[in-house]
Chains A and B, each alone.
Chain A
Amino acid sequence: MAERGWDSILLYGNAWRKDPFRSLVNINFSGDHALARLSRSGEISVTFSDPWDAEIACAALQPDFVKAFSPGAAAIAGLEFMEERFVAACGPLPVSATADVEELRRVKTAEEIEFIKQACDLADRGYQRFVEVAEPGMREFELVAEVEAFLKTNGAEDNFMLIASGGTEVVGMKPPTERKFKQGDSVTTELTPQVNGYYAQICRTLVLGEPSREQLKAFDIFSEAQCAAQDLIKPGITAADAARAQNDVFRKHGYGDYTGAKYTRVRGHCLGLYPDETPHILEDIDYVLKQGMVVIVHPNTYLPLSGYMVFGDTLLITESGNTRLNKTEKKLFTK
């Protein structure tokens, strides 16, 4: 704040993007809006829009949340997500502190890493549950219900989860449908449970029945790509390096066309208070990775061999390399 000349920072959160607020005040609020104000002298004040949140946190309540803002507000983390009526109440256009706060958030504290390790453990156990209950005849949304129940029973605050099932016609993951699993299906998922505010992720593919030669060949490529990035990642490597290491494997095997936006989104991303934190792992992102960052590398994409396939683990970047935080076996799961 002193460097930027800010006297105070507002950290705003809403029901979708709680992360700017929770980066300072780690309360899992259940209402629509929350705002924390941090002064340069270190004083913190908190306002919620929901009376239950205010009562639990012994904090100020402002049901008409536009009144939580006053002219002259300095810098705001989460400014971009704020409703314009809130921004207007701040008077002349406030400065965004979002990028600065996100940069501070990228290198995790020991406490944050502990929460992410707990979330990883839950992701591993959640995936185990996924494999246990998935069976031909079950509908996609029923499997999600079982996994969701398991994660919540074991302390997850929330979970971001996508799924897909089928064969080479499957080009991506989405929310669950009423489709029933069939023998031979490839069932893909990314599980992203949240513990004490922090997300960790696992991506795996399950084949119901004996995998085909094409599915096995595809998995070998995904595994080689993920390992290439995991072997490379250490402080000083860029996000682009980690993406290129994965994409080069696909190119080597003649599938370079499937590393672009038509077939995939990102080759990984950071994790923390938001399940899709930046920087993304892409070949055009030159951000230099640092010790203490937590990142998932996942070469998830469509291949004509297998349809859409996923494979990825959460990694903690250490002084000289990285530590894989997921313990789930690195294999193509079959059942």
Chain B
Amino acid sequence: MKRGLITWDKAELPPSVFEARLARARAALVEHDLQALLVYSDVWRSTEGRHLTNYMPYWNRSLIVIPREQPPVLLCGLSPRVYPWIKSVTIFEEIRPASKLVPTLLQLCAERGWTQLGVLDLPRLPHEVFLPLQASRVEASDVKLDLTDDAELAMQRRAAEMAREILTIELPKGVGLTDYQFSGLLERAFRRAGAEDLVLLFGTSDSAPRPARGAMLGDKYSVAVALEYRGHWARVTQSLPL
């Protein structure tokens, strides 16, 4: 789960990066004659929303709404008490509480006179969001966006470098430990370095990589690290002997 450091370093990812990404999203809206783009986001599926707004929910689910001409709006399942923090790490200026996502979205559509929305990857919307949206008077159509740009690749490279560097240093330390003990050691190293989330899998000669289960690692093993650094995932696998 995301319980590490969630932050926005504007030297690393300047606001201009997000302005360019929003411009691309808005160009797609113009191309398809749509009034706003909807992006679903939850604790597991946050990459698309993070790319466009730097929003990375640690819990709950949200809808990101990107109008053609106005600033983005976050419809948020989290408590308003954390909105100041959300605003400090994202581009959002407007956040609306949304314990029920679709009714809040439909209210926003009614306020702004929207009848045609684009939905980023519509077939992947959760059923409980898709169903009431489909039943509403708002027409939703699937929109695809290329989420690759130089800043995205640079951050993913940074995440991969971090994973490789720490794993190279720590990997030999697992000899003689259980996978539980070694995962504790890796958690400390990665999270102190600023990892936001971490998934560790341990492989041995008789098992595919799997979550820790209290097994001894011996002197031949592999570790697959899926690391989330400021919303950017990298997966690196290394084996011992190196």
Residues of chain A whose beta carbon lies under 8 Å from any beta carbon of chain B: 14-16, 28, 30, 51-52, 55-56, 79-85, 87-88, 141-142, 144-146, 148-155, 157-162, 171-172, 174-178, 261-263, 265, 302
Contacts and interface: CB of A to CB of B under 8 A. Distances in A.
A158 B180 contact: no
Given A141-B194, A175-B58, 13 more contacts: A14-B44, A16-B45, A81-B126, A83-B123, A83-B125, A84-B123, A149-B184, A149-B188, A153-B184, A155-B214, A162-B58, A172-B82, A263-B81
Contact of A52 (B79, B82, B122, B210): B210
A161 B207 CA distance: 31
9 contacts: A30-B211, A56-B207, A81-B127, A82-B126, A83-B125, A85-B123, A172-B79, A175-B196, A178-B7
Interface string B167-206: 0000000000000110111011001101010010100000
Contacts of A16: 42-45
Nearest to A98: B128
Contacts of A82: 126-127
Given A155-B214, A160-B1, A175-B5, A52 B208 contact: yes
Nearest to A173: B82
A157 B210 CA distance: 11
A84 B44 contact: no
Contact of A176 (B3, B43, B127): B3
A176 B128 contact: no
B127 A152 contact: no
A175 B88 CA distance: 13
B187 A141 contact: no
A160 B197 CA distance: 12
Nearest to A153: B184
A302 B124 CA distance: 38
B199 A30 contact: yes
Contacts of B130: 84, 87
B124 A83 contact: yes
Contacts of A153: 180-181, 183-185
Given A30-B201, A83-B124, A141 B82 contact: no
Contacts of B5: 141, 175-178
Given A84-B127, A174-B82, A155 B180 contact: yes
Contact of A55 (B4, B124, B208): B208
B68 to A, nearest CB: 25
Contact of B188 (A52, A87, A145, A261): A145
B21 interface: no
Contact of B2 (A51, A85, A175, A263): A175
Given A145-B187, A145-B191, A159-B1, A84 B126 contact: yes
B209 interface: yes
Contact of B184 (A83, A152, A160, A162): A152
B126 A83 contact: yes
B216 interface: no
B151 to A, nearest CB: 22
A192 to B, nearest CB: 9
A142 B192 contact: yes
B138 interface: no
A170 B118 CA distance: 38
Contact of A154 (B45, B80, B180): B180
A150 B185 CA distance: 9
Contacts of A146: 188
A157 B211 contact: yes
Interface in B12-58: 42-45, 58
